Structure 1
Amino acid sequence: MKIKLKKSKMAKILLFIGVILSCSFGSAYAAVNMEPINAFFNRGVSFVLNGEQWQPKDQAGKPMAPINYKGTNYLPVRALAEALKIPIDYDTANQKIYIGGKPAGQTPIFAMPIEIDNIYAVLSKDAKETLVNGKQYKQVLKIEQYGDVIVTLNRKYKRLVLDGAVIEPGEHEVEFSLYNAADTAGNTADTILEKHSVSPEDKVKTMIFDVTGLDKIKIHVQSPNLNPYIYARILDTSYFDSGESAANGSK
């Protein structure tokens, strides 16, 4: 019985010390980085975004009101960034907010949430099919008539750096076209935002697409002359990043 009491007492002491340390660190952080202010929720303000009424909401979907401080209205940066379709990330450890996406990050295209037309476009890791114009890759998307690749971005990236190729016996130029595939795209979903071409002579061509502010995209691959077989490949060296947007260029 005495042992149990001692253990119980020790647990309470450790818990008490933990609470004190937690409060101390919290107080120290607040003392250095936070300053108290007198502010008010301004519930009389309404918002018009691109000509339409807009209500800022938190991550749980609850309506938010701006905070008025010394005559200026303030909104949480996430609500505003999402409304303006600007990528936003928060680094909790370093207390840093990235507006417009984190720099230098690259995400391989096949690591993204993607939907593929499985009739004419197929992902392959077969060594014979991943050997493209003399170079061995780990994975490719092979397209042998036409194909659509739909990728969910959630506005986190600015560029798609796409490596494409035409292999034997393909003898025709192939077009890679970018579309807005978001549910809210409406009639604009049929509009080509950007288009690049790859010919058999290119071997492997790097194409850079501007995907800034897009939730979901579609890459449509097809011959401009509607030839039945195109023998095109999207390579696993393709990726998304937050680098400088450009119409053409290399990695």
Structure 2
Amino acid sequence: MNKKWIITGGAAIFLLSSSAGVYAGANLQPIKAFLDSSMKFKVNGKPFQPQNEKGAVIAPIIYNGSTYLPVRAVSGALGVAVEYDAKNNTVLLGEKLDGIPIADSASSSHRTKDPQLTTYNGKDYKDVYFNNASGTRGASFMLYPEGKYQKLYLQAAAIGEDIEEFFVQDSDTDIKLKIDSIAVSEGMKTFEIDISGVDALFIHADVEDGGSLFVPLTTSYYK
């Protein structure tokens, strides 16, 4: 999506907030700057009020004719994930190069590492969500990306019976980010979902009696 900034005043230069630890660096220089609480912002033609990570309204800093805002204040409005890598003193914006398995952030009573239950089509996925209960039911679990990632690549398979409705929902806003179905004949299906700024995800499937939902947690990943 092509997103444009409309900014009253100088060029926009985005800095990460101090809470991320940037003030711990050794190469800092003191400067004299000014806060401009009168400056207004628009995102795609709509008014935008910059806020810090705690929701408090902030004013831009003016220094040498340039306008500075925290990265974290605008990343959500632009739909870009942001994270600070303290070890390497690096700001990470958008989709990451390497995928991060969702296993560490998954929570469910149907999660299992039992070798008798983690194998699908001859491949052992080691750690899976596997709802093979009886009866027509809802099969669901939670993920906690904590706003650190741009994309979720979620794998899932229907076993025994087709799954007519499968969805991924932002747990805080109840907005469904993906709605689809999973047929047994499709095998392992991969869903690509934009999760920028999302803290918690609700994964749900309507499963028929005799059917199961299989989600590998080792090959599903964030980026």
TM-score relative to the length of structure 2: 0.69
In structure 2, distance between residues paired with 1:61 and 1:180: 19
Where does residue 232 of structure 1 map in the other structure? 213
Superposed, which structure 2 residues align to 1:186-201 within 5 Å?
Answer: 189=174, 191-201=175-185
Greater helix fraction, Structure 1 or Structure 2? 1
**Other-structure match for 1:151:** 143
- From the CA coordinates, give the structure whose radius of gyration is larger: 1
Identity score, percent: 28
2:113 to 125, 128, 136: 125
Show the 5 A alignment for 1:75-86: 75-82=69-76, 86=80
* Stretches of structure 1 lacking an aligned partner (at least 5 in a row): 1-25, 243-251
Q: CA deviation at 1:216?
A: 1.9
1:177 to 167, 172, 175: 167
**Counterpart of 2:90 in structure 1: which amino acid?**
K
Q: Residues of 1 paired with 2:67 and 2:107: CA distance?
A: 42
Q: Distance in 2 between matches of 1:69 and 1:79?
A: 18
Q: CA deviation at 1:134?
A: 2.3
* Contact 1:166/1:174 (<8 A) preserved: no
Aligned mates of 2:32, 2:145 — CA distance in 1: 39
State the alpha-carbon separation in 2 of the partners of residues 201 and 240 from structure 1.
23
Equivalence for 2:67: 73
The CA deviation string for residues 39-75 of structure 1, in whole angstroms up to 9 with x for no partner, is 3233444668896784633x67776432222444322
Separation (CA, whole Å) in 2 of partners of 1:166 and 1:60 = 41
2:127 aligned partner: 139
- Whichever residue aligns with residue 98 of structure 2, its letter is G
Mapped partners of 1:221, 1:55: distance in 2: 37
Q: Unaligned stretches of 5+ in structure 2?
A: 1-25
What residue number does 1:241 align with? Answer: 222
Distance 1:131 1:37, change over 3 A: closer
* 1:213 aligned residue: 197
* Residue of structure 2 equivalent to 1:160: 152
Question: What is the one-letter code of the residue matched to 2:118?
Answer: T
The equivalent residue for 2:82 is 88
Aligned to 1:8: none
| CA 83–38 in structure 1, closer or farther in 2 if over 3 Å, else same | same
Give the conservation status (yes or no) of the 8 Å contact 1:146–1:230.
Answer: no
Cα distance in 1 between the residues matched to 2:185 and 2:146: 35
Q: CA deviation at 1:104?
A: 1.5
Deviation for aligned residue 1:181: 0.8
**Which one has the bigger strand percentage?**
2
Residues paired across the two proteins, number: 194
The 3 A distance-change label for structure 1 pair 149 and 238 is: farther
2:98 corresponds to: 105
